[in-house]
Structures are given as structure tokens and as C-alpha cells.
A and B are shown apart, each in its own frame.
Chain A
């Protein structure tokens, strides 16, 4: 006998209670603290800040804990929180040439002013499981170099002196904010960069990778990759000058790309740009490749039909909070639509079978 599908409210409450219990896991194991996540899972925290578009390591750590380590879920929590925050104003553009770098490498010059600084990188580690970490994670202190307070100029500036690389003129125009205005296509480069910066790392990575494999090839060199801390300043109208309100860690990547020249332009290198919160190297490099691939029209290159060249395709599908929501919503009830399809298919079948019988 039919039992009405009642009790949705109770089911939801119970599911939430069970989820909370599962999140905590075995209570005989010590609970994770937020400082532990912030300090020891820093790259996860960085990704959540970058794609959540909110620079707050403590909140990102909380989101990761609440999301049971599901980073897309954590990004979603941060986004939903961020959207409720009032806008007090906009900071001045950060000056990455004045970044206090912890890592700075160039793949295009063996040595350069400011030096090559490897910093804390996985690059040359052997990926062997370190079983010592299973027992205890205590490490000896790393050697310290004397602090160099000089600014580290950008590699692209050296190239620029000879006119070897395109000039990216600065401007005072306020960039659009895609979290406050609906995205309009075609998008400006600023809007594209904004969308890619908060886009899914995996998606941007795959798009960038596809350009390397020939789907919209851009011949990219990493002119420079730098990670470090920059000061965030804000103009205070009452004071008449900018005041430092804090600092943040950023990863910046500038690619140098071949450009054969056009009818009006002699051959010259062109740029791709990536800038992401925290130490998020893979994302920053991928971002700069995708940025460059999307610039085909302004540089007079051919559209080869590559996905990474297709602005609408890239921008409309880069956001993992949107993507995961829409993907997973198909598990919500669709009884009504399915019922109408059921009726339709039944009718089409009965008509087809009747026609078949009539023919026989």
C-alpha cells in the first residue's frame, strides 16, 4: 500500500546530525584544530582562498574542516560567506615588483638582477613517501640567508627595454567585478583574468595543458614566477594618502610567448599573465597560459577552434561552485519531468507498435 513520501524535514535533520558525526570521525582520535589546518595544510588553505576569492587563512581553514577536506565544498562555504560581506572600498593595485619574495625563478634567463630563488618548492624533491612523517613531523630548522630588502624587478621589464616584448599600458579604469555584475561577453582581459583567477584549478590546468599539446599553441616560456608577500594599501579619503592595511601572499606568473608579427607589427614577444592568492604555482602558470591563449583576437592570430581559445567556453565553465552545483542537482527529485517523458515514450512506443502491426 502506498505510503506518502512524508517526513522530508525529519530526514534532513537526521542527515545533518549524521554528517556532523561523520565529520568528527573517530572521537578517540584528537580533533583537528584550525591552526593545524592553516599551518600544515597551507596549500589547501591557499586554494580555498584563491577560488573562494577571499583572503582569510583562518576562515579557509574553518571551511576545510567543516567540509571534511572537500576543497570544492570549502570554496563554496567561503563564497557563500563572502557574498554577505559589505564592500568598504577598493585597495590600491598591489605592486608585485616590491614583493618580499620567498621564491622567484625565471626559465628564460640563467641569472638576472634579484637572482634565482628556489624557495620552498616540491620541484626537485624525489616523490618518495617519507615514512618518518608517519611517526613524527619534527624537522630541523632550515638554513637562513641574510634578508635582502631590495626590490626585485620583473624579467619582462628587462625585455621591454629593447622593445622585444609588447607593452601592456597601465590604466586607471576600475576593473569590472564579476561578483557584483553579471558577466557580459565578450569580456575585457581584466574580467577574463578575474574569472580565471577564481576558476577551478583542475579546469584551468587542463585548458592550459591542451594549449601545450597543440590545441591553441602559444609557445610559452615562464619568463618569471614569483611567490611572496605584498603590502595592501588603501586610499583613505580623509587622510589624502594611502595607508597599508595588511599584507597578503601572492603567486605571480608572467609568460613570454612567441609572436611572429603581423602586417603592422614587427615580430615581438607577447605576454600571458597569472596572479593568484597564496602559494598556488600550478594555478598561476596555468592561468597565464590560458590568458595568452584567449588573447588570439587582439593579437591578430587565427582562431583554430581550440577550446582554450574560446572565451565563452572557458569563462562559462571555469567556476567549480557553479559546475558542481548544476552537476549534482540532477540528484534532486525530477519525478514530474520524468513522468512526462514516461508518458511521451509510452505513447510513441504504442504508436510505433500499432504501425508495425498494421504493416504486418
Chain B
């Protein structure tokens, strides 16, 4: 049910060309924020307009698209964006990480390792990792030019001095291929190791801030740290209560007003796949019964 009054994937071809140029430049200079003439999209800024534009520029009719928000396929904004591309591009969609050729994500990297040929598109609110240290774009661009990242290290050091640890839990800054300090978008730092040496192409789109950047396949991405305070990915110290996974990132769900809570995989496809193959967590039920309920 493609809307024929709009071009394939909504954007006109000239705009897509402009975005593809920015993407190519981003791939050529990993971690560098490429300015691009972001368009007004039919969803608000902050809802993933950057990611949507990058996805629109990458989509071909043969692609299979997966959209996740907070790791889940069925959160409202993921549903909305997936519907948008079904409507304007008529592409196949999937919830299975392994079947998707393009995955648009907000705040997570899928648990299942990505493979060559896949594109992971991140929605980015504030692309500038130095923004909260220096509010001026004219200054931060100069800092990147001069590779002047002392301010960031001072900030991390002050964290350690004050809290005994680096007090950044998400959007944890990374250095790409030894050159640019990059904001990995607000993914939990648990996901940071997955950024490095991924066989997939990782693209980052910030619509409101008009920036695109990229981590090409097999690029080294290092989370900033100190020798005596090495980077540590963290998650809730539990297993998933539905599928029993111990290695996945967990959401905490409040179950009653008596302090009851449970922990479940934030990656719904990962959790579902495990449950379908017979894994059962502490509070889980076999999949067939769960579906019937």
C-alpha cells in the first residue's frame, strides 16, 4: 500500500543523493560529523528524523527493514517509523535481527551479532560529544579539528575524583579509529563494545542538528577511559526473568506497589528467539502457553 503521491521512501531523489554524499563522506572519515541539509520530516524532531532520513537514503525496494526503540520492535515509536516505511516504500519488514538488511535503532544495539552487508542506523539527538562541555558549535568544531580532547578527559577525571568511577552510563564517548571522539548516541555503555570491529556498516543521523556520521565495518572504536580506571560495560546484575539470558541488557519492570520487580531483555527479538528455542527464565513460561494467555 505505497502512497503513490510521494517518492519511494518519501524523500525526493535529489535529497537522497545529498544525504548519500554525506554518508559517503562520513564513511570516508570515520567518526567525523558531516553537516547535511536535513529536511523537515513528517514526524517531529527528536522522534528520529535523522535516522529516518539516513534509512530513506539507504533503502532499496529489495531491503528488509527492522525498526527498534529501546531494543524493542513493538514500542510505539518503532511501530510508527516501521509503518512509515511500509507506507512510503512498501519494503518488507521483520522483527528478526538476522533477517534485516537495514536496522534503524534508538538507544540500543541488538544483542545478536550483526553480519556483513547489514546497515545499522542510529537515531541521534545530540551528535556532539563535547556539547555539554562546550555549548558552542563554532568552538567544538575547532576542538575536533585540532584533536583537542583534553576537556573530555578532564570531565572523566573529575567524575572519578568525585564518584570514584566514571559517572556516564549511556551515550558514553568513544574514539573512532584513533582520531575522532564520537557520541555513540544514547545507547547504554553496555553496548559500546559492539561498536568496535562490527562487520556491519553503522550510520548515525541527527536530523535537528543536521549531522551524519559513520563507523564503517571493521573500524576500531574505543570507549574513553584511563589505564587505572578501565572502561566497564555494565548491566543489571540479574538474568532475564523470561528467557534466563545472563549476557543481555535488561529492562527493569515494576510489577506491583510492594517493591516487586522483574528483569527482562530489552531486546525483544533476542528474548523471543531464546524462548522459542526452549530457554525459560525464573518467571517465564514456555512460549506456547505464554502466547495462549
Contact = CB atoms under 8 A, between A and B. Distances in A.
B226 interface: no
Interface stretch (A33-41, A118-126, A176-184): A176-184
B76 interface: yes
A7 B241 CA distance: 21
A239 interface: no
Nearest to B236: A343
Given A2-B255, A333-B77, A79 B40 contact: yes
A8 B234 contact: no
A8 B45 contact: no
B147 interface: no
B169 A343 contact: yes
Given A326-B46, A339-B251, A186 B70 contact: no
A86 B12 contact: yes
Interface in A232-283: none
A8 B241 contact: no
Q: Is the interface of A mostly helix, strand, loop or mixed?
A: helix
Nearest to B5: A84
B80 interface: yes
Contact of B40 (A1, A6, A80): A80
Interface in B38-78: 38-42, 44-47, 49, 69-72, 74-78
B107 A336 contact: yes
B93 to A, nearest CB: 12
A328 to B, nearest CB: 7
Interface string B6-23: 100010100000000000
Nearest to B139: A312
Contact of B75 (A84, A182, A333): A333
Given A8-B79, A334-B107, A337-B107, A326 B208 contact: yes
Contacts of B241: 2
B213 to A, nearest CB: 13
B145 to A, nearest CB: 14
B251 A182 contact: no
Chain B interface residue bracket vs A: 35 or more
A332 B78 CA distance: 11
Contacts of A327: 46
Interface in A331-360: 332-337, 339-344, 347-348, 351
B250 A339 contact: yes
A160 to B, nearest CB: 34
B167 to A, nearest CB: 6
A325 B45 contact: yes
B137 A316 contact: yes
B170 A348 contact: no
A297 interface: no
B236 A339 contact: yes
A38 B211 CA distance: 37
Interface stretch (B111-119, B175-183, B186-194): B186-194
Given A9-B74, A333-B75, A340-B189, A82 B234 contact: no
The 7 lowest CB-CB distance pairs between A and B, nearest first, are A329-B46, A325-B45, A325-B44, A340-B169, A182-B35, A340-B188, A79-B40
Interface of B: 6, 10, 12, 35-42, 44-47, 49, 69-72, 74-80, 83, 106-108, 125, 136-138, 163-165, 167, 169-171, 186-190, 208, 210, 234-236, 241-242, 249-253, 255, 262, 264, 266, 268, 283
7 contacts: A7-B74, A316-B137, A336-B170, A336-B186, A339-B249, A339-B251, A343-B234
